[in-house]
Chains A and B, each alone.
Chain A
Amino acid sequence: MSFVKDTLDGVKATFTGLATTFREMVRPPVTIQYPEEKRPVRPRFKGRHVLKRYDNGLEKCIGCSLCSAACPADAIFVESAENTDDERYSPGERYARVYEINMLRCIFCGYCEDACPTEAIVLGDNYELSFTDRRSSIYTKEFLIEPVPEGGKATPQKVEPGIYTRSVPAMKDPED
């Protein structure tokens, strides 16, 4: 008798399965048609690096290379130079004259972002980073720096002496 019961259970299970797949058929698919549609990234997504600026246009990066020291993959190369008031790139004494990140080494861990004292280097939302030869895997400062914001002037700037003396600004704690 259990043979009949087993058979009927099997038949019932088969039909339950068939009904499940049929139900999935009448629902719309969940596929996102990349590259025409793109899924928005989550907050705190670790994408391509961006070198930030202040609202007046001066770069935040002071060329201290703490990011380079913190990087576990040794992907960042920083060479700093001294600011003068005639040719000022960042508030403070130093700026990064050469700033390069080797994207083939970078592991997108975000340690550089944690180590930066001025919140200059942040990991942004861009994840479409393909290149076709090894030379273009080295992202330079010109590529990474963000555009001048509204109301700011492009660097290098010529400023009044005596205003910008403090390298690391007084900052609020980060919210996210």
Chain B
Amino acid sequence: MDVALWIEWIIKALILVLGLLTGFAYLTYMERKFLARFQNRYGPNRAGPFGLLQPVADGVKLIFKEELIPAQADKLIFMAAPIITTVPALIILGVLPFGGVVNIMGREVPLSIAGNLNVGVLYIAAITSISVYGIVLAGWSSNNKYATMGGIRSSAQMISYELALALSFVGPIMLAGSLSLADIVEEQMRIGWFIIYQPIGFVIFLIAALAEINRAPFDMPEAEQELTAGYHVEYSGMKFALFMMTEYIKMIVVSAIAATLFLGGYHLPFVTDQPWGVWLGPFILIGKIILLLWGIIWVRATLPRVRYDQLMAMGWKVLLPIALFNVFLTSVIMVLFPNWFSH
């Protein structure tokens, strides 16, 4: 446990968090531009060249807004809830491998913070569950019946789809034989991307992930602001910005996990095998993440919102059985044809 290792961790963590925050800001820009293009119009193009300073303008606006705390609200929890929601979203990517091992100034540096963690996927599932607390607490501490109901509905939606999500993780885990994300990516480098072996798993992951991050067409908690209220109705200014941050960062995180578990992570067939290919790893992963984010925005532009009872019915009565069937099918094939997946 030498100082160099600590410095390495701190630098990597800083790069990750700052990268996620910048990514969040420009993801809002990218979403507005893409949504606009899907709707036959331009997006923001006035704030700076091509509208590139729009996130800065939005950030400055939110900073200057008045911070309102409702009268009978539980102050401590009211202020803590956005933080409880945002921090887990930021730290999930600690176990994601961004690349192989590079040599910086004579030191072998793996391009990830804790990619070799032997319970990586379990860590992801666990940390995703903590965000649910933030939402319920936000709804409760607002001292607003509608916010409470919105928060409870949202948390019910999230924990229902977490089951299908975690079951869709099981396929790649069985194929790789390990919970560690670095092992999963290495296995994909060996036998090919897991989307070929787990097409059903990939589809289930995408649907469950969209429901997990409260994103269209499952964005009932957000839309309820039009209908009655959502869990962040009483929030203003920077606390509201934190909730928005959570949603967009979770979009990035979920895309990153999908890219790692099913689309090969930082691996591209002929590029990463080259000696200089190791440095391209993070960029390849970012390219895949952007592609998946574009897909998420595409879905938001297209599909209408799912009604809450249809949503819960779909989570429990459709996705969960299909996810269980996927696990069953994968394990049966692995038992019948052990030579395909020898490791």
Of B13-21, B240-248, B295-303, which binds chain A?
Answer: B295-303
Nearest residue (CB) in A for B318 is A7
A77 to B197 Cα, complex, angstroms: 82
Interface residues of B in 226-249 (CB under 8 A from A): none
Cross-interface CB contact of B41 among A17, A20, A29, cutoff 8 Å: A29
Of B32-40, B80-88, B275-283, which binds chain A?
Answer: B32-40
Does B325 have its Cβ within 8 Å of any Cβ on chain A?
no
Q: Which residues of A contact B37 (CB under 8 A)?
A: 24-25, 29
Does A14 have its Cβ within 8 Å of any Cβ on chain B?
yes
Cross-interface CB contact of B298 among A22, A27, A31, cutoff 8 Å: A22
A20 to B303 Cα, complex, angstroms: 11
B36–A29 touching, CB < 8 Å: yes
A21 to B36 Cα, complex, angstroms: 11
CB distance from B42 to the nearest CB of A (A): 5
B 26-65 binary contact with A (CB < 8 Å = 1; else 0): 0000000010111111100100000000000000000000
Nearest residue (CB) in B for A16 is B302
Q: Which residues of A contact B299 (CB under 8 A)?
A: 18
A-B contact count (CB 8 A): 33
> How many residues on A have C-beta within 8 angstroms of the other chain's C-beta atoms?
13
Nearest residue (CB) in B for A17 is B302
Q: Which residues of B contact A30 (CB under 8 A)?
A: 40-41
Nearest residue (CB) in B for A13 is B303
Q: Which residues of B contact A22 (CB under 8 A)?
A: 38, 298
Cross-interface CB contact of A14 among B40, B45, B303, cutoff 8 Å: B303
Q: Which residues of B contact A21 (CB under 8 A)?
A: 38, 298, 301-302
With A14-B303, A17-B303 given, is the CB distance from A24 to B298 under 8 Å? Answer: no
A14 to B303 Cα, complex, angstroms: 7
Interface residues of A in 12-51 (CB under 8 A from B): 14, 17-18, 20-22, 24-25, 27, 29-31, 33
A22 to B37 Cα, complex, angstroms: 9
B42–A31 touching, CB < 8 Å: yes
Q: Which residues of B contact A27 (CB under 8 A)?
A: 40
CB distance from A130 to the nearest CB of B (A): 18
Interface residues of B in 119-138 (CB under 8 A from A): none
A24 to B301 Cα, complex, angstroms: 11
Cross-interface CB contact of B38 among A14, A25, A31, A33, cutoff 8 Å: A25
CB distance from A65 to the nearest CB of B (A): 46
A 87-130 binary contact with B (CB < 8 Å = 1; else 0): 00000000000000000000000000000000000000000000
Q: Which residues of A contact B40 (CB under 8 A)?
A: 24, 27, 29-30
Q: Which residues of B contact A17 (CB under 8 A)?
A: 302-303
B39–A24 touching, CB < 8 Å: yes
A20 to B40 Cα, complex, angstroms: 11
A14 to B216 Cα, complex, angstroms: 13
The CB with the most chain B CB atoms within 10 A, among A14, A20, A29, is that of: A29
CB distance from A6 to the nearest CB of B (A): 11
A31–B303 touching, CB < 8 Å: no
Nearest residue (CB) in A for B46 is A33
CB distance from B240 to the nearest CB of A (A): 29
Cross-interface CB contact of A29 among B42, B301, B303, cutoff 8 Å: B42
Q: Which residues of A contact B302 (CB under 8 A)?
A: 14, 17-18, 20-21
**9 closest A-B pairs (Cβ-Cβ)?**
A17-B302, A21-B38, A21-B302, A31-B41, A29-B41, A25-B37, A21-B301, A31-B42, A24-B40
Provide a sorted-by-A list of 10 A–B residue pairs whose CB atoms are within 8 angstroms: A17-B302, A20-B302, A21-B298, A21-B302, A22-B298, A25-B34, A25-B38, A29-B41, A30-B41, A31-B41
Which B residues have a C-beta under 8 Å from some C-beta of A?
34, 36-42, 45, 298-299, 301-303
Other contacts beyond A18-B298, A20-B302, A21-B301: 17, CB < 8 A: A14-B303, A18-B299, A18-B302, A22-B298, A24-B37, A24-B38, A25-B34, A27-B40, A29-B37, A29-B40, A29-B41, A29-B42, A30-B40, A30-B41, A31-B41, A31-B42, A33-B42
